[in-house]
Amino acid sequence: MTLIGGITGFWIIALLSSADVGETKRNSLNEPDVPFPPASPTAQNLDNICNLGEGRPRYPSSFFPRSRVSHFRRRGNAINRLEWWYSLCCSGQIDQMLCCAQHAWKESLSQFCTEEFSTMTAAYVCCGKTGDARWTCFDRELTNPNYLPKPDYTAPPIPEQPGFIFNVNTC
Protein backbone atom coordinates (compact mmCIF):
# COMPACT_ATOMS: atom_id res chain seq x y z
CA MET A 1 0.00 0.00 0.00
CA THR A 2 2.81 2.41 0.82
CA LEU A 3 4.50 1.62 -2.48
CA ILE A 4 1.36 2.47 -4.48
CA GLY A 5 0.86 5.72 -2.53
CA GLY A 6 4.53 6.60 -3.05
CA ILE A 7 4.32 6.01 -6.79
CA THR A 8 1.07 8.00 -7.05
CA GLY A 9 2.60 10.84 -5.03
CA PHE A 10 5.65 10.80 -7.29
CA TRP A 11 3.51 11.19 -10.44
CA ILE A 12 1.41 13.96 -8.93
CA ILE A 13 4.55 15.91 -8.01
CA ALA A 14 6.05 15.26 -11.46
CA LEU A 15 2.91 16.51 -13.20
CA LEU A 16 2.64 19.60 -11.01
CA SER A 17 6.28 20.55 -11.44
CA SER A 18 5.98 20.39 -15.23
CA ALA A 19 2.77 22.43 -15.37
CA ASP A 20 2.79 25.89 -16.92
CA VAL A 21 1.61 28.03 -14.03
CA GLY A 22 0.62 31.66 -14.58
CA GLU A 23 2.24 33.70 -17.34
CA THR A 24 5.69 32.14 -17.05
CA LYS A 25 6.80 30.44 -20.23
CA ARG A 26 9.74 28.05 -19.97
CA ASN A 27 12.32 26.72 -22.35
CA SER A 28 13.70 23.18 -22.44
CA LEU A 29 15.97 23.92 -19.45
CA ASN A 30 12.94 24.97 -17.36
CA GLU A 31 14.03 28.63 -17.47
CA PRO A 32 11.85 31.63 -18.38
CA ASP A 33 11.85 32.22 -22.14
CA VAL A 34 13.19 35.74 -22.67
CA PRO A 35 14.56 36.02 -26.23
CA PHE A 36 17.64 38.21 -25.94
CA PRO A 37 19.31 40.36 -27.15
CA PRO A 38 17.06 42.65 -29.15
CA ALA A 39 18.26 43.54 -32.63
CA SER A 40 19.75 46.90 -33.43
CA PRO A 41 17.30 49.27 -35.13
CA THR A 42 17.86 49.62 -38.87
CA ALA A 43 16.09 51.28 -41.77
CA GLN A 44 14.75 47.79 -42.63
CA ASN A 45 13.17 47.00 -39.24
CA LEU A 46 12.19 50.51 -38.05
CA ASP A 47 8.66 50.29 -39.45
CA ASN A 48 8.07 47.08 -37.47
CA ILE A 49 9.65 48.59 -34.36
CA CYS A 50 7.26 51.53 -34.52
CA ASN A 51 4.09 49.86 -35.74
CA LEU A 52 4.13 46.34 -34.30
CA GLY A 53 5.32 47.03 -30.75
CA GLU A 54 2.11 45.95 -29.05
CA GLY A 55 2.58 42.47 -30.49
CA ARG A 56 6.04 41.89 -29.05
CA PRO A 57 6.46 40.29 -25.61
CA ARG A 58 6.85 42.28 -22.42
CA TYR A 59 7.98 40.82 -19.16
CA PRO A 60 6.03 41.96 -16.11
CA SER A 61 7.28 40.75 -12.73
CA SER A 62 4.53 38.09 -12.73
CA PHE A 63 6.26 36.44 -15.71
CA PHE A 64 9.18 35.28 -13.59
CA PRO A 65 9.37 32.75 -10.77
CA ARG A 66 10.36 34.23 -7.42
CA SER A 67 13.94 32.97 -7.33
CA ARG A 68 16.93 31.73 -9.35
CA VAL A 69 16.21 33.77 -12.49
CA SER A 70 17.57 37.24 -11.79
CA HIS A 71 19.63 37.25 -15.00
CA PHE A 72 16.45 36.56 -17.02
CA ARG A 73 14.65 39.26 -15.04
CA ARG A 74 17.38 41.76 -16.01
CA ARG A 75 16.97 40.75 -19.67
CA GLY A 76 13.20 41.20 -19.44
CA ASN A 77 13.63 44.58 -17.79
CA ALA A 78 16.00 45.66 -20.57
CA ILE A 79 13.44 44.67 -23.21
CA ASN A 80 10.60 46.41 -21.34
CA ARG A 81 12.71 49.55 -21.04
CA LEU A 82 13.68 49.42 -24.71
CA GLU A 83 10.12 48.92 -25.93
CA TRP A 84 8.95 51.89 -23.84
CA TRP A 85 11.75 54.06 -25.20
CA TYR A 86 10.99 52.93 -28.76
CA SER A 87 7.45 54.22 -28.26
CA LEU A 88 8.93 57.63 -27.38
CA CYS A 89 11.12 57.59 -30.49
CA CYS A 90 8.29 56.51 -32.76
CA SER A 91 6.11 59.42 -31.71
CA GLY A 92 8.74 61.94 -32.85
CA GLN A 93 9.69 63.47 -36.15
CA ILE A 94 10.01 60.91 -38.90
CA ASP A 95 13.56 61.92 -39.89
CA GLN A 96 14.81 61.42 -36.32
CA MET A 97 13.12 58.08 -35.52
CA LEU A 98 15.94 55.78 -36.57
CA CYS A 99 18.62 57.78 -34.80
CA CYS A 100 16.47 57.95 -31.67
CA ALA A 101 15.77 54.20 -31.76
CA GLN A 102 19.47 53.43 -32.16
CA HIS A 103 20.30 55.61 -29.15
CA ALA A 104 17.51 53.96 -27.14
CA TRP A 105 18.88 50.50 -28.04
CA LYS A 106 22.41 51.39 -26.95
CA GLU A 107 21.26 53.13 -23.76
CA SER A 108 18.99 50.24 -22.78
CA LEU A 109 21.76 47.69 -23.30
CA SER A 110 24.26 49.92 -21.48
CA GLN A 111 21.94 50.01 -18.48
CA PHE A 112 21.51 46.24 -18.77
CA CYS A 113 25.30 45.82 -18.60
CA THR A 114 25.54 48.14 -15.60
CA GLU A 115 22.93 45.97 -13.87
CA GLU A 116 24.80 42.80 -14.91
CA PHE A 117 28.05 44.06 -13.38
CA SER A 118 26.30 45.00 -10.14
CA THR A 119 25.65 41.35 -9.28
CA MET A 120 27.83 38.56 -7.93
CA THR A 121 27.24 36.43 -11.05
CA ALA A 122 29.00 36.38 -14.40
CA ALA A 123 27.86 39.18 -16.68
CA TYR A 124 26.37 38.63 -20.12
CA VAL A 125 29.29 38.04 -22.50
CA CYS A 126 28.71 41.17 -24.63
CA CYS A 127 28.84 43.38 -21.55
CA GLY A 128 32.54 42.59 -21.18
CA LYS A 129 33.30 44.26 -24.50
CA THR A 130 33.64 47.99 -25.12
CA GLY A 131 32.84 50.40 -27.92
CA ASP A 132 31.72 49.03 -31.27
CA ALA A 133 32.73 45.49 -30.24
CA ARG A 134 29.95 45.53 -27.61
CA TRP A 135 27.28 46.61 -30.11
CA THR A 136 28.47 44.10 -32.73
CA CYS A 137 28.35 41.36 -30.09
CA PHE A 138 24.80 42.25 -29.04
CA ASP A 139 23.69 42.39 -32.68
CA ARG A 140 25.21 39.00 -33.60
CA GLU A 141 22.82 36.23 -32.51
CA LEU A 142 19.32 37.58 -32.81
CA THR A 143 16.03 35.84 -32.18
CA ASN A 144 13.82 38.43 -33.87
CA PRO A 145 15.93 40.74 -36.08
CA ASN A 146 12.87 42.07 -37.92
CA TYR A 147 10.91 42.86 -34.72
CA LEU A 148 7.96 40.77 -35.86
CA PRO A 149 5.02 40.42 -33.48
CA LYS A 150 4.18 37.20 -31.66
CA PRO A 151 0.97 35.71 -33.14
CA ASP A 152 -2.15 36.24 -31.03
CA TYR A 153 -0.26 38.29 -28.43
CA THR A 154 -1.01 41.72 -27.05
CA ALA A 155 1.59 43.25 -24.78
CA PRO A 156 0.47 43.94 -21.22
CA PRO A 157 0.88 47.49 -19.95
CA ILE A 158 4.22 48.10 -18.31
CA PRO A 159 5.19 50.98 -16.04
CA GLU A 160 6.83 54.04 -17.52
CA GLN A 161 10.55 53.52 -18.02
CA PRO A 162 12.37 56.77 -17.21
CA GLY A 163 16.00 57.45 -17.98
CA PHE A 164 16.08 58.07 -21.71
CA ILE A 165 16.58 61.56 -23.08
CA PHE A 166 17.11 61.85 -26.80
CA ASN A 167 19.24 64.73 -28.02
CA VAL A 168 18.29 65.52 -31.63
CA ASN A 169 21.69 67.18 -32.13
CA THR A 170 23.44 63.79 -31.95
CA CYS A 171 22.01 62.66 -35.30
What tens digit of pLDDT does each residue of 144-160 get? 999 999 999 999 988 89
pLDDT tens readout for residues 99-139: 999 999 999 999 999 999 998 888 999 999 999 999 999 99
Whole-model pTM above 0.75? yes
CA 18 vs CA 6, 65, 125, 143: distances in Å: 18, 14, 30, 25
pLDDT at 27: 45
Buried b / exposed e over 125-144, threshold 16 CB at 10 Å, is: ebbeeeeeebbebbbeeeee
H/E run at residue 83: helix 70-90
pLDDT at 20: 33
pLDDT at 77: 92
Determine the Cα angle at 104 with ends 101 and 105, to 5°: 85
Among 9-13, 82-86, 134-138, the range scoring the smallest mean pLDDT is 9-13
pLDDT tens readout for residues 15-46: 333 333 333 344 445 567 888 999 999 999 99
pLDDT at 25: 47
For residue 143, pLDDT beyond 50: yes
Query: For the residues 44-58, what does the mean pLDDT come to?
Result: 95
- In sequence order, the 6+-apart residues with CB closer than 8 A to the CB of 41 are 49, 86, 98, 101, 102, 104, 105
Higher-confidence residue: 64 or 158?
Answer: 158
Nearest to 127 by CA among 142, 112, 139, 141: 112
Query: For the residues 41-59, what does the mean pLDDT come to?
Result: 95
Higher-confidence residue: 140 or 18?
Answer: 140
For residue 98, pLDDT beyond 50: yes
pLDDT at 16: 33
